[in-house]
Amino acid sequence: MSNLEDLYREVILDHYRSPRNRGELASPPAIRVEGFNPLCGDEIVVYLDVQDGVLVDIKLTGHGCSISQSSSSLMSAAVKGKSVEKVRETIATFKQLMTVHQASLDEASAAEPLDLRALGELAALQGVVKFPVRIKCATLAWNTLSQGLDELE
Ligand code: ZN
């Protein structure tokens, strides 16, 4: 397990040090949504360019702790180029990951397995559930993305 945890730590650090999809998009036409986590001081601005039901581009600005920053970078890499429907699925799966209690996660392989392989690199954030105060850091970008998609409708 510790090798896996090392790998996850590497993924999180990599996204923190080299965040993906940083920048801005012209808004409009892109949607601009702001998110704020007062518990930690994390701030994020998400720009979404959706065309014909596909999230063709996503850009992020903002600052905050390593968890919030790496989570937003991982998110952008996971959803860019996907259909809005698929993006919503990914949001739901990620939120599920963040709500699964660690104890049940350890036993999960048998009972109701969360498909970690479907999450790809996002699975690296699963350790966050051990630290409830950091969950809001990890979910900030996702909630902001979700809010942006709602504005489309
Ligand atoms: Zn934070």
For residue range 37-52, list pLDDT tens digits in order: 999 999 999 999 999 9
Three-class DSSP category at 83:
strand
The pLDDT assigned to 110 comes to 46
Q: How far is CA 16 from CA 9, 54, 63, 111, 133, in A?
A: 10, 26, 11, 33, 19
Give residue 112's Cα distance to chain centre: 22
pLDDT of residue 4: 80
What is the average per-residue pLDDT within 13-32? 95
Quick one: pLDDT band at residue 1, thresholds 50, 70, 90?
Answer: low
Supply the range of the domain harboring residue 72.
2-150
Q: How many CB atoms lie within 10 A of CB 76?
A: 22
pLDDT tens-digit readout, 92-140: 999 988 887 555 555 554 445 667 777 889 989 988 888 888 999 999 9
C-alpha–C-alpha distance, residues 57 and 131, integer Å: 32
Mean pLDDT of 53-65: 97
Please tell me the distance between residue 69's alpha carbon and the centre of ligand 1 in angstroms.
Answer: 8
* Residue 22 alpha carbon to ligand 1 centre in Å: 18
Average pLDDT, rounded, for the chain: 89
Q: Ligand 1 centroid vs 152 CA: distance in angstroms?
A: 27
Q: How far is the CA of 66 from the centre of ligand 1 (A)?
A: 7
pLDDT at 101 (0 to 100): 55
User: From the CA of 96, how far away is ligand 1's center (Å)?
Assistant: 19
Query: Is the pLDDT at 10 greater than 90, yes or no?
Result: yes
- Ligand 1 midpoint to CA 55 (Å): 26
Q: Is the pLDDT higher at 152 or at 110?
A: 152
Give the domain CATH number at 120: 3.90.1010.10
Separation of alpha carbons 11 and 13, rounded Å? 6
Per the structure, the count of domains in the chain is: 1
Q: How far is the centre of ligand 1, averaged over its atoms, from the C-alpha of 97 (Å)?
A: 18
